[in-house]
Amino acid sequence: MTAASPDDAIATVITRSRCLLLDFDGPICDIYAGLPDVVVADRLRKLITGQSITLPAEITLTPDPLAVFGYAATVSSDLAARVEAEMTEQELAAVHTARPTAYVHDVMTSCHESGRAVAVVSNNSQRAVRAYLELHSLDDRVDLISARGSSDPATLKPSPHLIQQAMHGLGATPADCVLVGDSTTDIHAGKSSGVDTIGYANRPGKNDTLRTAGATVIVTSLADLVLPLRATR
């Protein structure tokens, strides 16, 4: 018995879905294309050190704003709220120079034409996601946004919370859904929620990382999803 080809595996996952869940930063756009993530992380760090708090080495060095936010929450809920509010403002500024991901418009259009629902499931703020979708005229192709809306990092991926919230809003079951994500946190959240996961390996080395995390299938371009979506109208 021959193993299924990668194209067949992707088609199988797409065919059994009626809801496509898309991570935002990666599968939809590079939000920090024009405003680098390390610049945002530095601005968040200044909020914390301005309180005479000494940062651990890993937080001092990380380029990831979400990691800085997560650390702030270990200090106090008030600091977490202040850092989250500033991060939201920085994300809103970054929206204007964000770079769209190739073929994402085709993917969303194909979903719409095939009768599938589309939800954005993101650790970025709801306000930034909504602003980006409106700016790029994608808001009419997205049925639901399940994104960061509080200063509690425990609700963010790899927690299944945002995916479960999206499924509830769409009236969907795990069997109905497939999540497209470019990080291990996406894959872990998807597995915890019981949904199929499509790992988007948009950089060298991600293929193995996403496969090790347990992605159901791997793609290196969103173009790989367009034909399967169109074939199952």
Tell whether 150 and 110 lie within a shared domain.
yes
From residue 184, alpha-carbon distances to 3, 191, 207, 210, 226 in Å are 25, 10, 11, 6, 23
Tell whether 170 and 89 lie within a shared domain.
no
Report yes or no: 87 and 65 within 8 Å, Cβ to Cβ.
Answer: yes
Predicted local confidence at residue 7, as pLDDT: 81
Tell whether 213 and 107 lie within a shared domain.
yes
| Domain housing 170 | 6-30+101-231
Per-10-residue mean pLDDT for the chain, 233 residues long?
Answer: 67 95 98 98 98 97 98 98 98 98 97 95 98 97 98 98 98 98 98 98 94 97 94 69
Predicted local confidence at residue 5, as pLDDT: 62
Predicted local confidence at residue 1, as pLDDT: 37
Predicted local confidence at residue 4, as pLDDT: 53
Predicted local confidence at residue 2, as pLDDT: 40
Please give the backbone phi and psi of residue 124, each rounded to the nearest 5 degrees, phi first.
-75, 165
Any residues with CB less than 8 A from the CB of 62 and at least 6 apart, and which? 41, 68
**DSSP per-residue codes, 120-152:** EEEEEEHHHHHHHHHHTT-GGG-SEEEEE-SS-
The total number of structural domains in the chain stands at 2
Predicted local confidence at residue 160, as pLDDT: 98
Tell whether 115 and 211 lie within a shared domain.
yes
Tell whether 120 and 74 lie within a shared domain.
no
- Predicted TM-score (pTM) of the model is 0.94
pLDDT digits (tens, 9 = 90+) for 145-181: 999 999 999 999 999 999 999 999 999 999 999 999 9
CATH number at residue 222: 3.40.50.1000
Q: Which residues pair with residue 200 across a beta bridge?
A: 219
